[in-house]
Structure 1
């Protein structure tokens, strides 16, 4: 019987070393939670046994208790590195466990080829759908959805109106060379404006201003304006030059309304369009040429340019056209008995009958921790503590081995007496 007593001691010491070694192996695993082995003594007795004469029969492993204390928080440069400061787990739809739900504290997320927010194993982060104000529209388990980033945002709108407010130099002279966009000496100033075709492609409209002293009068000075879009000349009624004049105080006399350009077909879209140029507010001053304001009413389709997650878990995608889209709010889960969760590897846990069903919430709610972006939670393993535990388990193993050796020697002695 004593052999089995010592054997049980060896087994629990081995289990203790295994658990400690597992903790040490995962000291660098983000979101990892260490475990502690709890043991119990084994006593065999019945109602006739004198309690003063009971002899123990060894030890047994009762449970490996997971320790859900928070690990060290590390700052990163990725907005999709998330950490929960307090209680709770991220909910993910696994990529390798038949698409089942799992829970994790490892918040190292990224965007995959399908533009889903996923972890290193390709499991999708789950969140609540939200309205235009970022308020969840449903918070039950069935409403959890993948957080997917649309590739583009907005509807393309061709430019219909361009406005330029410029200052032209009153002392400017007529260029000696005939106007040519490629010859800077043939014009007195130019202004570039980004405009858009019917497909939302950006084009550059450049308007050149040329002094035209031959058409001055006693009460006005004359200029001509020429506009080109991606090198294609704009015309009004087939005429390229738009006359512009100012009175003696520098106030613009003509044109009195927006100049409507003839329809043209950009090569970038292949769709005919036309727009107008409004020079209202332009003036002739003693200073040099300058552009005060410029604007246009076209719009491009926005390309995805960035993503952010705020402290409440609201995920927002940004686009090149200035649009922002609310994708959802990160869901957090908690359990009545977290230590009853089943570890399934890859920093995942799954619910069991011991843990109870997941209780869903949001970052900052009662019973749930805060959410931190550009931060990731490291392992909660303390190397010093684990090394001490390992030494202790080793000594326990050696002591039980020694007891087993002594018992073997005693039995050998008995055998020699019989012989």
Structure 2
């Protein structure tokens, strides 16, 4: 009995030595999990009950159990070295067999697959060409080909325009002239007319032009309208019959009336047209002047009063009378956005006919003082540039210019800026003719851009060109008649893109570019790889872009002790372990990924050396048991 007991102890101690030695041998093996031996005592037993002998029969090795506790994480210089901080195993494809490992020493083989040192392929979730991760699991592969260029279809600008800036550009609308030709030959005054003014803030105003008004009266009446300025001049040229010979007649008489009031003109010394002009200039009227042009007398009233001249040579019954109504010229500032007029006194606009000043508005022209010039920094308040890309990946410089305008309407609660756009020095967005108009609320937030509350500017007239100014072969503007919709559909088929100023503000602080993002880029070569804590593999390219190529998959088990070790620091699934539960790092009970790191062996070398001494003592003690039993047996044999 004692021989068997000692022999079982030797076997158990030998196994303990083997396990301890294996732990010590793998103390520096990445991802290794240390083992320990579990022992049980032996007793003789019957078929239906326990044995009657209380003396034990030795020791039995119940099993060798691995400890899956976390090992220390150490950093490396390989970006594809991965460590699991927490639960889970890497999944490895070994020629169709799935193995599980904590050893994350990975690299890339000649085909671009992520593999370990035994050329087993790492399993993970695939990504499409746009970097979107899917739920499809397979071998992770790094695509080392160049990243295709992407044209710019959206640019978001987050800017602050300084509300303290002064207006550099004054925009006025000059109406067509209204005078004798418009009111009709022979007419001596303007008819009654109601003028309606519309302002950018939505307010309106009315101005009444009274019946029988002179041009000077009309100027005074229109001047009551906010944002409206007017002037008038009356020019009268005498008929050719009033010449030097006519003036020299003995009974010559000349009378000048301004607004029906006679202006005294001394004709006693007049002997030709020039002396008559001098006499008019020497009269008491401060608004009337005269001159001789092409042998004709020309009389001008610089305030637009109605002029009337009556003259004869010898017979008063042959007197000739000339009447001239002044010509009105009107200008409106940029705050006046609409102008209409109707004939009659207090007319109903739905029934009255259009007035003379409505027609003048229709014939008007826009005039800009200190007009915007991108070459002259004095003509714009702010500017910012960014790089955009065409369909071939060629870079182009987009510059946004901002010019502060006069506040529309009454200037309360709204501010206005003009926006000019250029790509490589050429206007886009039709801003060469008419700038985009950005309006801001009283709190500094953007109200609209050309009426669009989202602040979007659609650029549909850009033709990408090379440095010589010729089209470079990239996609150009959409065909005529094809509207550009936002957002730009994918894939884009033209050079159209959208500028979004929705985040732009107008505060009382310096101009600043808070953020400016566009979604285009040129072609790029693979320059490096990064792995996130979620196990996502990001490829970095020389064009500054990064794109997800895939995501490492992790597996966990309900019973990790049931896994079967098969060498190469890997395990396989067994019936006892249960099926693998597969997921993304950081989800469920799965741990996070640490890149450029490996998990060291969880073997405590100091403890293992102590265990080695204990196993040695156990072995020696059990050998002593056998030695003692042998001595006792020999004593019995020696009896006679």
Shared fold per TM-score greater than 0.5: yes
- What does residue 148 of structure 1 align with? 141
Whether contact under 8 Å (1:6, 1:403) holds in the other structure is: yes
Distance 2:99 2:466 in 1: 63
Match of 1:112 in 2: 109
8 Å Cα contact 2:555-2:581 kept in structure 1: yes
Task: Please state how far the C-alpha of 1:110 moved relative to its aligned partner.
Answer: 1.2
Q: 1:136-183 deviations in whole A, cap 9, x for unaligned?
A: 422xxxx421111112133379xxxxxxxxx9xxxxxxxxxxxxxxxx
Distance 1:156 1:315, change over 3 A: closer
1:315 counterpart (537, 550, 553): 537
| TM-aligned CA distance change 1:135 to 1:360, over 3 Å | farther
Equivalent-residue separation in structure 1 for 2:581 and 2:48 (angstroms): 49
1:2 paired to 2:2: yes
1:61 is matched with which residue?
61
Q: Give the number of the structure whose alpha-carbon radius of gyration is greater.
A: 2
Deviation at 1:124, TM superposition (A): 1.0
CA deviation map 1:248-307 (0-9, x unaligned): xxxxxxxxx9788599xxxxxxxx989xxxxxxxxxxxxxxxxxxxxxxx9864322111
How far, CA to CA, are the matches of 1:104 and 1:24 in structure 2? 20
Matched-pair contact (CA < 8 Å) for 1:89–1:103: yes
Which residue does 2:74 correspond to in 1?
A: 74
Q: In structure 1, what is the Cα distance between the partners aligned to 2:595 and 2:41?
A: 47
Is 1:383 equivalent to 2:605 in the alignment?
A: yes
State the distance in 2 between where 1:345 and 1:131 align: 35
Shift of the 10–320 alpha-carbon distance from structure 1 to 2, 3 Å rule, reads same
C-alpha separation between the residues in 1 aligned to 2:74 and 2:465?
58
Residues 1:417 and 1:67: Cα distance change in structure 2 (over 3 Å): same
Contact 2:131 2:547 in 1 (8 A): no
Q: Structure 1: any 5+ residue segments left out of the alignment?
A: 158-166, 168-194, 203-256, 264-271, 275-297
Match of 2:286 in 1: none
Change (3 A) 1:53 1:314: same
Counterparts of 1:17-416 in structure 2 under 5 Å?
17-46=17-46, 53-94=53-94, 98-130=95-127, 136-138=133-135, 143-155=136-148, 261=468, 301-416=523-638
Shifted more, 108-117 versus 392-401: the winner is 108-117
For residues 36-85 of structure 1, the C-alpha deviation after alignment (integer angstroms, 9 at most, x for no partner) is 10010111122788867422111111011110111111022222111111
User: In the aligned structure 2, how far is the partner of 1:336 from the partner of 1:259?
Assistant: 63
Q: Distance in 1 between matches of 2:467 and 2:613?
A: 88
3-state secondary structure, aligned to 1:31: coil
* 1: CA distance, partners of 2:523 / 2:574: 47
Closer, same or farther: CA 48–333 of 1 in aligned 2, 3 Å? closer
Question: Aligned equivalents of 1:259 and 1:389: distance in 2?
Answer: 77
Query: Relative to structure 1, is the Cα distance of residues 374 and 411 closer, same or farther in structure 2, using a 3 angstrom cutoff?
Result: same
| Residue 133 to residue 313, structure 1, CA distance change in 2 (3 Å) | farther
**Do the aligned residues in 2 keep the contact of 1:24 with 1:381 (CA within 8 Å)?**
yes
Q: TM-score, structure 2 length as denominator? A: 0.42
Paired position in structure 2 for 1:191: none
Q: Distance in 1 between matches of 2:70 and 2:467?
A: 66
| Alignment partner, residue 235 of structure 1 | none
Q: CA deviation at 1:315?
A: 0.9
CA offset at residue 114 of structure 1?
A: 1.1
1:93/1:126 contact within 8 Å kept:
yes
Contact map agreement 2:555 2:583 (CA 8 A) in 1: yes
> C-alpha displacement at 1:132, in angstroms?
7.3
Instruction: Find the aligned partners of 2:49 and 2:75 in 1 and give their Cα distance.
Output: 62
- CA distance 1:114–1:258, shift in 2 (3 Å): closer
TM-score scaled to structure 1, two decimals?
Answer: 0.63
| Higher mean displacement: 15-24 or 81-90 | 81-90
Note the alpha carbon deviations across 1:347-394, whole angstroms, 9 max, x for none: 111111111111012211121111111221101010111011111110
* Residue of structure 1 in register with 2:168 after alignment: none
Residues 89-108 of structure 1, C-alpha deviations (whole Å, 9 max, x = no match): 111112xxx43100111111
User: Is the Cα contact below 8 Å between 2:103 and 2:569 reproduced in 1?
Assistant: yes
After superposition, the Cα gap between the structure-2 partners of 1:413 and 1:357, relative to the gap in structure 1 and judged at 3 Å, is same
Contact residue 128 and residue 137 of structure 1 kept, 8 A: yes
Tell me the distance in 1 between the aligned counterparts of 2:85 and 2:522: 40
Q: Give the whole-Å Cα distance in 1 for the aligned partners of 2:76 and 2:45.
A: 59
Q: Tell me the distance in 2 between the aligned counterparts of 1:25 and 1:340.
A: 23
